[in-house]
Amino acid sequence: MQTSSHNRVLLKRSLNAVWHPCTQMKHHETLPLIPVASARGCWLYDFDGNRYLDAVSSWWVNLFGHANERINAALIDQLTRLEHVMLAGFTHETVVQLSERLAQLTGNALGHCFYGSDGASATEIALKMSFHYWRNTGRGGKTHFVSLAGSYHGETLGALSVTDVALFKDTYAPLLRGSAQVASPDWRLAAQGESARDFAIRCAYELDHHLAAHHSTTAALILEPLVQGAAGMGMYDPEYLRRAREICDRYDVHLIADEIMTGFGRTGTFFAHEQAGITPDFLCLSKGITGGYLPLSVVLTSNAVYGAFYDDAVTRGFLHSHSYTGNALACRAALATLDIFEKDAVIETNRAKATMMNDLVSPIAAHLRVRNFRNTGMIWAFEIDGTDDGVARRVYEHALARELLLRPIGRTVYFMPPYVISDEELALLVTRTLDIVQSL
């Protein structure tokens, strides 16, 4: 890596003025901050001609590459019409079209779209709506939520309450409302010789047991369908979702599918919950929704939920709001993203790409230091064996030195590339990652 004086000055100014997310800032005394001058396709470029393959889709948001021509063109067109208007009392074509198309993607089972600006606010919206639904229907005692061990639903206080990642949660525990966690079906935790499906069934019994005791005070179960991202790409069998749906129905508990990361084709189907043949009561979407361009989130829900708010009384309505709700530019980026899915048959193309990748990665999967190699859709993950706690940072630094952006979670290294990644770029990613594993 080369660093020019321009780079160095920018880094210094950034460290002075910008408080970076998910970072102990002092670590940047020794850990390089990467200045990005421009980006195209899967590549990020600095000011000196260094480049990095964005193998984590810029924190799981990018789908069709940086500077995508089609999304750019749609945004430029939208800029000439309407950039933003408040969505209380007003509406616009772009948000209407997006809502209709998202509803269609759920087979119109979830036909009502409520917008926010980021993933955490989608979680907040779903939790509040679920509670308020029960209150409006005379079950105001349903005030608690259940989530899975290791779950991640965002870091605002309500979302953090149902998140179960100690690193993010423990410090703020005194501020949080208690929520219950039940066993995660993440197959890394299965007993020796137990199949992923059998383990999922065993975990579903625990959920059943929990709700048998607590259903009268429980509003909803919230979960990340098929892949628990922040838990280190924990993957599980769809049978868990089928059983969770059936159990929630039996106990009058909502099922909230947090597809903020898993939605938009990431797990091999448009929504991950489709693989279980179920419909959640609430569907939270964000991240890939705008192709990684602009902040936008949405919660979709059913006629049954919507109907419980529809009334003459103001306070029976859902009075939640965000200033940028339904932002026209963000909605237009989302429409352009959906157009690409349709025109390019992205789900099918990704399937072929994933099959090819699964051949390519076999030397990594077979490496002596690699454990639990796994794949769901366009996500690949594995653990690095050993006792070295600094492995995440070392992999990150080794990767940068090899033109790769990898951001391990603890011992878990994962690939979550933009869907436009080429076969050559996948091959480069695999070869250089293998080289990193070998040199640790």
Ligand X SMILES: *Cc1c(COP(=O)(O)O)cnc(C)c1O
Q: How far is the CB of 260 from ligand X (least distance, A)?
A: 4
- Of 260 and 357, nearer to ligand X (C-beta) is 260
Residue span 114-153 as binding mask against ligand X, x where in contact by CB under 6 A, dash where not: ----xxx--x----------------------------xx
Number of shown-chain residues binding ligand X (CB under 6 A): 14
Q: How far is the CB of 3 from ligand X (least distance, A)?
A: 30
CA distance 344 to 340: 6
Q: How far is the CB of 261 from ligand X (least distance, A)?
A: 3
- Of 142 and 287, nearer to ligand X (C-beta) is 287
- Contact between 377 and ligand X per CB under 6 A: no
Using CB under 6 A as the binding rule, the residues of this chain from 6 to 45 that contact ligand X are none
217: how many CB neighbours lie within 10 A of its CB? 12
- Beta sheet of 180-182, edge-to-edge order: 112-116, 297-301, 282-285, 254-258, 218-223, 144-148, 180-182
Which of 432, 413, 438, 405 shows the shortest CA–CA distance to 57?
405
- Contact between 261 and ligand X per CB under 6 A: yes
- Contact between 241 and ligand X per CB under 6 A: no
Which residue number is nearest to ligand X in terms of Cβ? 119
Q: How far is the CB of 121 from ligand X (least distance, A)?
A: 7
Applying CB under 6 A, which of residues 241, 260, 346, 436 lies at the interface with ligand X?
260
Q: How far is the CB of 116 from ligand X (least distance, A)?
A: 9
- Of 43 and 152, nearer to ligand X (C-beta) is 152
- Of 118 and 237, nearer to ligand X (C-beta) is 118
Q: How far is the CB of 120 from ligand X (least distance, A)?
A: 3
Q: How far is the CB of 153 from ligand X (least distance, A)?
A: 5
- Helix H, strand E, coil C: the string for the chain is CCCCHHHHHHHHHHHHHCCCCCCCHHHHHCCCCCCCCEEEECEEECCCCCEEEECCHHHHCCCCCECCHHHHHHHHHHHCCCCCCCCCCCCCHHHHHHHHHHHHHCCCCCCEEEEECCHHHHHHHHHHHHHHHHHHCCCCCCCEEEEECCCCCCCCHHHHHHCCCHHHHHHHHHHCCCCEEECCCCHHHCCCCCCHHHHHHHHHHHHHHHHHHHHHHEEEEEECCCEECCCCCEECCCHHHHHHHHHHHHCCCEEEEECCCCCCCCCCCCCHHHHHCCCCCEEEECHHHHCCCCCCEEEEECHHHHHCCCCCCHHHCCCCCCCCCCCHHHHHHHHHHHHHHHHCCHHHHHHHHHHHHHHHCHHHHCCCCEEEEEEECCEEEEEECCCCCCHHHHHHHHHHHCCEECCCECCEEEECCCCCCCHHHHHHHHHHHHHHHHHC
Q: How far is the CB of 43 from ligand X (least distance, A)?
A: 23
CA distance 321 to 117: 10
- Contact between 224 and ligand X per CB under 6 A: yes
Q: How far is the CB of 228 from ligand X (least distance, A)?
A: 8
Applying CB under 6 A, which of residues 164, 239, 258, 281 lies at the interface with ligand X?
258
- Of 46 and 164, nearer to ligand X (C-beta) is 164
- Of 164 and 239, nearer to ligand X (C-beta) is 164
Residue span 151-190 as binding mask against ligand X, x where in contact by CB under 6 A, dash where not: -xxx------------------------------------
Q: How far is the CB of 95 from ligand X (least distance, A)?
A: 19
Q: How far is the CB of 307 from ligand X (least distance, A)?
A: 27
Applying CB under 6 A, which of residues 150, 229, 232, 408 lies at the interface with ligand X?
229
- Of 42 and 261, nearer to ligand X (C-beta) is 261
Using CB under 6 A as the binding rule, the residues of this chain from 276 to 315 that contact ligand X are 286-287
Q: Where along the sequence are the contacts to ligand X (CB under 6 A)? A: 118-120, 123, 152-154, 224, 229, 258, 260-261, 286-287
